[in-house]
Chain A
Amino acid sequence: EVQLVESGGGLVQPGRSLRLSCAASGFTFDDYAMHWVRQAPGKGLEWVSGISWNSGSIGYADSVKGRFTISRDNAKNSLYLQMNSLRAEDTALYYCAKGAAAGTVDYWGQGTLVTVSS
């Protein structure tokens, strides 16, 4: 059974940093791209960032480019999101998601909540 468990969310002041983690199990982690997708309260899904199986290809949404960094450790079956210079508009539930072919995301974690507020 595929499991994705996010951690690291919390309340943080504007301008500060936070690092999210995602522990993956139930599949061969280093065979698949992984993504972070967020959902602001009462809003829709927004793709944040994606990383290929070997970290050779990485992408970011324009809204986070230059502030967020995605990474993975295949030896630890883990995905990370380093979030710097956080803004109020980054407040959201952040989902870790397993990539499949052509942009499909086939499994999602339960999310970790990030609240940016003074």
Chain B
Amino acid sequence: SSELTQDPAVSVALGQTVRITCQGDSLRSYYASWYQQKPGQAPVLVIYGKNNRPSGIPDRFSGSSSGNTASLTITGAQAEDEADYYCNSRDSSGNLDVVFGGGTKLTVL
């Protein structure tokens, strides 16, 4: 099965831009999706497909992809963006199989 690799922790100053990356072979074939998880809460989808935001997700969140790397960019990070972020994609090995990255803890300074 595939693996997706994320940096364990990233920090950003309030109002600045931060990029969170996700690497894996499956990303050469499939777009990544990105999820935000705050303590004690279920994950929330923030980016999917080429660069799509579900209803209610601020436009400071955007996604991009190149080769085996997907990125989530937060432009003008806010205090409420401090959370864990996970990428995922379809697994290369199976029709329904899904793989998640290990997660990135974002700290807003």
Contact = CB atoms under 8 A, between A and B. Distances in A.
A106 B54 CA distance: 9
Sort A-B residue pairs by CB-CB distance and give the 6 closest, nearest first: A103-B90, A59-B96, A50-B96, A44-B103, A108-B42, A59-B97
Interface residues of B, number: 29
A92 interface: no
B102 to A, nearest CB: 5
Interface string A36-52: 01000000111100111
Contact of A47 (B44, B54, B97): B97
Interface in A73-111: 95, 99-111
Nearest to A106: B45
Contacts of B84: 44
Contacts of A107: 45
Interface of B: 1, 30-31, 33, 35, 37, 42-45, 48-49, 54, 84, 86, 88-91, 94-103
A45 B86 contact: yes
A83 to B, nearest CB: 18
Nearest to B32: A103
Given A102-B30, A103-B89, A103-B91, A58 B42 contact: no
